[in-house]
Amino acid sequence: MFIIETYGIAVVFCVVTMFAWGSWANTQKLAAKDWRFELYYWDYVIGIVLFALLFALTAGSMGESGRSFLEDISQASNDNMWSAVLGGILFNLANILLVAAITLAGMSVAFPVGIGLALVVGVIVNYIDAPVGNSTLLFGGVFLIVLAILLNANAYRRLSAQQQKVPTKGLVLAVVAGLLMGLFYKYVANSMFPDFANPIAGKLSPYTAVLLFALGILASNFVFNTILMRKPFEGAPVSIKDYFSGTGKSHIMGILGGVIWCIGMSFSILASDKAGPAISYGLGQGATVVAALWGIFVWKEFKGAPKGVGGMLNAMLLLYIIGLGLIIAAR
């Protein structure tokens, strides 16, 4: 299987993760305007599973390093398999809430709040499990990103006050999603053998872990998303009949969103071998910067904002960049 050999390459993979995780949600905006996110989400999950399977059968089965996918999954212990699946279940619950928050509060708010909190919780939890890197630099970077989150939230509060629309429900959903999302990564990381070049009996390769993680998302989606379709956070209930009435473009956009996100997840997991789970996860969550830029400059979510908001957003981005730099230097 393909593995990363140096920390420098691991950082590049984390940057790819950052852009993938910060950009996938744009596909929801590119689907039909009346295409509900509950329906979009089925295709998104299908995209995650398809890419995870394809990646396992290709990069996860080539070369002499590690253990090939089919050999790996045949020897995996039940505990490790369920750990990866549980990671998928936790992620799915968090992500459904995050997508709902994007719908209600906008991408430039839901991503910084939700993913920012996930960064803080995730780095702490993963560092406790595997304390790799300089803790002062690592948590210093996390602190700066927390300050950036507060600036972004304050900027949106000022915008909401001007537009007389306070997305309280969206902000609450983003907070809950962030707290849950900070927990999923450790279960995937704990299911794998720590040195990808030296397999351990019963443990999973990164490719097997990501595929089982994806299957956990798919299985739980029949529960979480079905409930959401019947009792949505916003709008009337939708049915599976509505899903099959969607346009080809809407279905393709959903699948593409899932593929983009799973590229990020796969690259992050591969990078964790050389970077450590805390740093790999933390760098990937720089997706907040990318998502905020999309929301601000492409989707114009802050168009017409009152004076001073632009300065807050610029300060937010600066703090994010410095914080991410500290996380990179922590290894």
> Which has the closest alpha carbon to 10: 133, 142, 119, 121?
133
For the record, the structure tokens of 161 come out as 């006050």
Q: What is the pTM of this model?
A: 0.90
**What are the tens digits of pLDDT across the range 124-142?**
999 999 898 999 999 999 8
Whether 166 shows a pLDDT value over 70: the answer reads no
Element (H, E) at 82: helix 78-105
Q: Which residues lie closer than 8 Å to 246 by C-beta, 6 or more apart?
A: 32, 35, 39
Query: What is the per-residue pLDDT for 165?
Result: 55
Task: Quote the CA–CA distance of 217 and 214 in Å, as a whole number.
Answer: 5
Whether 273 shows a pLDDT value over 90: the answer reads yes
Higher-pLDDT residue of 298, 10: 10
**What are the tens digits of pLDDT across the range 182-192?**
999 999 999 99
**What are the tens digits of pLDDT across the range 168-213?**
788 888 889 998 999 999 999 999 999 999 999 999 999 999 999 9
Whether 105 shows a pLDDT value over 90: the answer reads no
Query: What is the per-residue pLDDT for 108?
Result: 61
Query: What is the per-residue pLDDT for 41?
Result: 92
**What are the tens digits of pLDDT across the range 5-34?**
999 999 999 999 999 998 998 998 899 888
Query: What is the per-residue pLDDT for 161?
Result: 62
Task: Quote the CA–CA distance of 303 and 232 in Å, as a whole number.
Answer: 28
Query: What is the per-residue pLDDT for 92?
Result: 96
Half-sphere exposure of 297 (CA within 13 A, CB side): 9
For the record, the structure tokens of 184 come out as 């999923």
Whether 323 shows a pLDDT value over 70: the answer reads yes
| Mean pLDDT for the stretch of residues 234-242 | 92
| Mean pLDDT for the stretch of residues 49-68 | 96
Query: What is the per-residue pLDDT for 163?
Result: 54
Whether 167 shows a pLDDT value over 80: the answer reads no
Q: How confident is the model at residue 216 (pLDDT cuts 50, 70, 90)?
A: very high
| The residue count for the chain | 331
Element (H, E) at 1: none
Whether 331 shows a pLDDT value over 60: the answer reads yes
